[in-house]
Structure 1
């Protein structure tokens, strides 16, 4: 059995992300747009906020970690 990548990665809080990041259309770290065949799937995540309904989000990250880090630093 493989462990999802997200099990070993501390993901940012979904409340601080844009809709595109929650849908997996943008990198969870640097917010760069990701095409349908680009990015690394970090697995479906479930959130049960203190108020409101529970929801799923679908984080993905850039394949090129160095470029992603540079974009993050530039923000």
Structure 2
């Protein structure tokens, strides 16, 4: 069985995004529906609202046993707080 592939990391360069560290996205198969649709942070799972988020752009994935589809990851604009929440969720 082939692993799923995520295409592109075309993050537009804006001042808010320029200060964020570049990190790989988690595999879409490990994310909740809310994270895949951009309602919750792709990293720490916090609910997002306009202005509290960074749009990571549309991504395409081709699962090993299905059709290609798009997903729409977003992350917290406050990357420091996001890292703290993410670390707390892992412990």
TM-score, reference length from structure 2: 0.72
2:60 to 36, 40, 46: 46
Q: Which residue number corresponds to residue 3 of structure 2?
A: none
Q: Whole-Å Cα distance in 2 between the matches of residues 68 and 13 of structure 1?
A: 18
2:27 to 5, 13, 31: 13
Q: Which residue number corresponds to residue 49 of structure 2?
A: 35
Q: Which residue number corresponds to residue 74 of structure 1?
A: 88
Choose 27-36 or 16-25, whichever is displaced more.
27-36
Q: Whole-Å Cα distance in 2 between the matches of residues 36 and 63 of structure 1?
A: 10
Point out the structure with max Rg over C-alpha. 2
Residues 28-69 of structure 1: CA deviation (Å, up to 9, x unaligned): 000000013430000000001110121100000000011000
Name the one with the larger strand percent: 2
Q: Whole-Å Cα distance in 1 between the matches of residues 40 and 56 of structure 2?
A: 12
